[in-house]
Amino acid sequence: MEELPFRSILHPTDYSESSRSAFAHALRLSVAARCALHVLHVDDAGKETDWTRFPDALDLLRQWKMLDASSTPEDLASRFGVELTKEALGSANVAEAISAVAEQRQCDLMVLLTHGSSWMGRLLKGSVAEASARLIHAPALCMHEVHHGFVDRETG
């Protein structure tokens, strides 16, 4: 099997339900590539991290019938070669924080959600997804919140 061109994927999450589709893509790609997956939440308000809000890779892999109910986090690495990390940061500049983590973790791909604001909305308040994609030195797969993409969230 041919090796995929990435070894480390970054998935910035805003904890939204829409972001779960981007996470499913990031997880499925990391399983296919047998690579690291870094899930990141950046909060500009500096609130304390609620780790239960992060997407759950094991639950999703169980739903996809790739793992059984007794599977542990160690199975993610041993069976699929996926090193999963979760990180939360506080920063006034979310895009720069995402870029710094992408560089630190040597990410080859970023998979993120875009809310698809109108051109006027992007002009007035900017787009975190667009700014992040411009700052990192790797390709970005931007998932629009109303499109499903190529990974079925229900079946993987």
pLDDT tens for each residue of 31-43: 999 999 999 999 8
Strand order across the beta sheet in which 140-144 lies: 84-90, 36-43, 8-12, 109-114, 140-144
Query: What is the pLDDT at residue 121?
Result: 44
Q: Is the pLDDT of residue 155 over 50?
A: yes
Stretch 127-154: mean pLDDT, rounded? 80
Query: What is the pLDDT at residue 117?
Result: 53
What does the alpha-carbon distance between residue 11 and residue 23 come to, in Å, rounded to a whole number? 7
Task: Kindly report the number of other CB atoms within 10 A of residue 77's CB atom.
Answer: 13
Q: Which residues pair with 140 in a beta bridge?
A: 110
Helix/strand/coil (H/E/C) assignment for every residue in the chain: CCCCCCCEEEEECCCCCCHHHHHHHHHHHHHHHCCEEEEEEEECCCCCCCHHHCCCHHHHHHHCCCCCCCCCHHHHHHHHCCCEEEEEEECCCHHHHHHHHHHHCCCCEEEEEECCCCHHHHHHHCCHHHHHHHHCCCCEEEEECCCCCCCCCCCC
The pLDDT confidence band at residue 119, using thresholds 50, 70 and 90, is: very low
**Which is more confident, 138 or 82?**
82
Q: Where do the domains of the chain lie, and which CATH numbers do they carry?
A: 8-144 (3.40.50.620)
Query: What is the pLDDT at residue 137?
Result: 80
Query: What is the pLDDT at residue 116?
Result: 58
Q: Is the pLDDT of residue 123 over 50?
A: no
> Rounded to two decimals, what is the model's pTM?
0.86
* Residue the block writes with tokens 């041919």: 2
What b/e readout covers 83-118, taking b as 16+ CB neighbours within 10 angstroms?
A: ebebebbeeeebbebbbbbbeebebbbbbbbbbbee
